[in-house]
Every structure is written in C-alpha cells, then in structure tokens.
Amino acid sequence: MILDDIVQKRKERYQSRMAQKPLAELEAACQAIELSQEAPFPFYETLSQKDHFHFICECKKASPSKGLIAGDYHPADIARSYQEAGASAISVLTEPDFFQGSDQDLQAVRQASSLAILRKDFIFTAYQIYEAKLLGANAVLLIVSILSDQDLDAFQKLAHSLNLDALVECHDLEEIERAKAVGARIIGVNNRDLKTFTVDLDNTQRLRQHVPEEIVFIAESGVSQRNQVAQLEAGKVNALLIGESLMRAEDKGQVLAELRGDSHD
C-alpha cells in the first residue's frame, strides 16, 4: 500500500536525521520559545469562526497518485497569492520522497505569509512535532490510520503544549471515534483513501453526522468546483483543505475566488 511505503520511507529518513540532531536539541530549542508571547492556537481560532466557510490552501509540488503537479514551484509566491485571495490558512507538504516537499518550503511560506500554517507530513514520532514548531508551523497533521491510540493522544497533547494545533485526519467511522476518544477539536475527513488513493466525495457528508458541531470539521481532497463547495457548506462542514486544483491553476487567486463564490467581486 502506498501509505505504508510513505511511512516506511519517512522512518528511514528520520533514523539518520535524529542521529545528526538529537531530540534533546529540539526540545531545548522549543523550550527557549516564549509561548506566552504568541497568539494562542491561531489555526483553531481562525477555523472555529463559524461566520463563513474556510479554505485551507495547499502548497504541494507532487503527489503519489498524480506525479508532478507543479513544475514551476515557488511556495512563498503561492502563499502570498492564497492570502490575497482570501485563504484562511495554508497547508505545506514537507514530505520529500513522494510529494517533493521540504522543510525549507514551510520556512519560505512562514516568511511570506501571516496566515496560520499546517505542516502536512506523515508524523510518527514526537521529533517531527518539535520540528514543526521550530519551522514556524501553527498546526500538525496527525493521521489516525498510522498511529496507535496512545501515540495519537500523546502527540496531540505534545502539540498543544507547544501552542500547535493538531488536525486529526480520519477516513472512516472507526477513525472518527478514535479521534473523538482523544478529545480532538479539529477533525479532517479525507475523501481520498490513503491506502488506494481513490476519491469518494460523499465520504465527508456520510461522516459529518458523527462529529459534534463544536469540533471544527474539515473536508480534504477531491474538490474542484464551486457546486461541490456549496454542498459542503450546506452540510455544515466548516472548512476545505484544497490542493491540486489550485496548484494546477495558472491564476490561483482567481480559482480560489471562484470556489469561494466571490468571482464577481
């Protein structure tokens, strides 16, 4: 399965990375950050505002299912165009082998944008959460299907202790229940099955009823048209994480405006 391959490759890379820079170094660097001087949980605070539908716009160069998506890839410029077009937050892929992402991409976006940033990666160790903080992220992705309940709980608590939010990603009802059991306050439903990479746009709607409204509920993947966005809005989805359709567009701001329903402005 593709997901297993991605996680295995990530573990191999981190063996050498963690040997070069021990966890204690990252912990010490994070302890030196004055968390009290930061705005508390900007990712959650933005997306929990229910007055309008939110777009989390993604910087993604490639994917396992589609290969190279953006040959001319400049994350800082992309982030600026997203912010100008009304994005609520930005997601940055940092996985290098299957998505051609990098830590430097996230750092570039952090310098270019004041929006909350999600580090989108395949997190299996606390090390990556400390890294995310030091790179300038405001949130991390925790994929339920690759984590034990114990790790899911521990990683979310660690993230919160660093003033990072956790977007807890699910694909089916069992994973939704696991996310709720650890007290997730941001749940994302991926319409793409990460085991097969097939897309089912109805997945979000089927699972919405099982998530209390006080939890921020995010749809992920497979949306490319305004009528699909309107359907999510009507179904009480709070936000959409969208990547490929924007990344393929020459004028990303215009496409986002159309998806937002304000292209007439």
Supply the residues annotated as catalytic: 58, 60, 120, 169, 190, 220-221
What is the C-alpha separation between 9 and 109, in angstroms, rounded? 25
Quick one: CA dihedral 137, 197, 9, 7, positive or negative? positive
Long-range pairs of 106-112 with CB within 8 A, sequence gap ≥ 24:
106/75, 106/135, 106/136, 106/137, 107/135, 107/136, 108/75, 108/76, 108/79, 109/59, 109/75, 109/76, 109/78, 109/79, 110/135, 110/136, 110/137, 111/76, 112/75, 112/76, 112/77, 112/79, 112/80
